[in-house]
Amino acid sequence: MMTLRRIFGAPFAWLFGIVVWCRNWMFDRGWLPVARAAVPVISVGNLAAGGTGKTPFVEWTARFLRQQGVKVGILSRGYGRATTGFRVVLAGATLDVDPVSVGDEPAQLAGTFAEEASAGPSVVIAVDEDRVRGAERLVRDHSVDVIVLDDGFQHRRLARDLDIVLLTADELMRGDALLPAGNRRESMRALRRAGALVVTRCATAEVFDAARRRIDGTAAPLFGVRTEVHAIRRAAPPAVCELGKLAREKALLVSGIGDPGSFESTVRGLGVAIAGHERFGDHHHYDDRDIDRVEAAFASRGASVVLTTQKDLVRMSGDRAGRMLQDLPVYVVVIRQEFVTEAAALERMLSKIAVRR
């Protein structure tokens, strides 16, 4: 059944599609300039406007490359930040996890890799709305060996050695339309530019097999991943919680992400009863009124714990949020990507790129 959004947004989606097609046509024919960085560039992107599990896959990609002994630079535009220009988020002793300054996803990645600083070669994270300039600065100022471009599929001014495109299994099964009728920034035809496709949120190999049948017109290899809970951590004071202990709790969920339903599914998979879900917009920054709303919901719904995401925690800043994190039992669900298909082919592709540095 078509929604009102699809019906009334269809004419605008058609116009949007024409603009996107013309832009890609000019890039394909060399009419728009493309710059090449001095090191290999790997893009992790998607067709949809958010909500595909891109951040944990960027994390997986950077971690794998670091295991190959290379210095990795992660470059993001820093969506939603109040600053502009090139800005370092993580580099050695430099650590900026203020989401207002750098964006919530780079801040989350910086916090994760700062904790793993001793696990191998360093990871440098930077933001710049001009990806070409950002890549040049990462190479010149920080001597990175390879760049992972966060959300780079549509940013074609910077050449890349590999385009990894993520699609959710649900997105493929239900279908979608271009903005503003749907959530896609490009049509499925754009997948012809991809070097590898990853279907996310595949609970089982069977889900992946069903979703992959909806993809055609590309020779790119396909891989499937699912979201796995890596750890549950107390927000303040920081502490690791045993997963089994949460099964006895009644949780209030708090999230401002692209696909809040996936967060609910993850929590249910832990066997945790859900007392309610306070949903905020994607990339939402929590102010004092939002914190009041969370505390009121916690009291009125009989919850015993608050569960939130890594992205949301970095956006809960300020004195008011700090007091809530101390007063309430707030826990963060830390997730990782786990392959439901054989990952060796993708690992070989990444390894070859790392060797060419």
| Band of residue 1 on the pLDDT scale cut at 50, 70, 90 | very low
- Contact (CB, 8 A) for 59 and 156: no
Same domain, 278 and 317: yes
CB neighbour list of residue 85: distance below 8 Å, 6 or more residues apart: 128, 129
Q: How far apart are CA 168 and CA 48, in angstroms?
A: 9
What mean pLDDT is reported for the chain? Answer: 92
Beta bridge mates, 233: 240, 332
Instruction: State mean pLDDT over 258-275.
Output: 90
d(CA 301, CA 274): 10
Query: How far is it between the farthest Cα atoms of the chain?
Result: 61
Q: Are residues 87 and 208 in the same domain?
A: yes
Task: Kindly indicate the confidence band of residue 13, based on its pLDDT and cuts at 50, 70 and 90.
Answer: very high
Alpha helices in 36-117 (DSSP H): 54-67, 99-102, 104-115
Please state the rounded mean pLDDT for residues 51-79: 94
CA 133 to chain centre: 22
344 and 288 in one domain? no
pLDDT given for residue 350 in this prediction: 97
pLDDT surpasses 70 at 173? yes
Residues 158 and 25 in one domain: yes
Task: Give how many domains the chain has, as a whole number.
Answer: 2
pLDDT digits (tens, 9 = 90+) for 299-317: 999 999 999 999 999 999 8
Distance CA 235, CA 313 (A): 8
Reported as a single tens digit per residue, the pLDDT across 182-213 is 999 999 999 999 999 999 999 899 999 999 99
- Whether residues 208 and 318 fall in one domain: no
Q: Are residues 236 and 330 in the same domain?
A: yes
3-state secondary structure of 168: strand
Give the bridge partners for 149, in sequence order: 43, 75
| Residues 126 and 102 occupy one common structural domain | yes
CATH number of the domain enclosing 54 = 3.40.50
Q: Are residues 171 and 315 in the same domain?
A: no
Q: Pairing state of beta strands 239-241 and 222-234?
A: antiparallel
Specify whether 198 is located in the same domain as 235. Answer: no
pLDDT at position 247: 81
**Which pLDDT value is given to residue 348?**
96
**Domain of residue 274, residue span:** 228-336
Average confidence (pLDDT) over 101-115: 92
Task: Check pLDDT > 60 for residue 288.
Answer: yes
What's the whole-model pTM score?
0.92
Same domain, 156 and 279: no
What pairs with residue 234 in β-bridges? 239, 331
200 and 263 inside one domain: no
Torsion of CA 313, 318, 321, 326, to 10 degrees: 90
Examine the domain organization and report whether 11 and 82 are in the same domain: yes
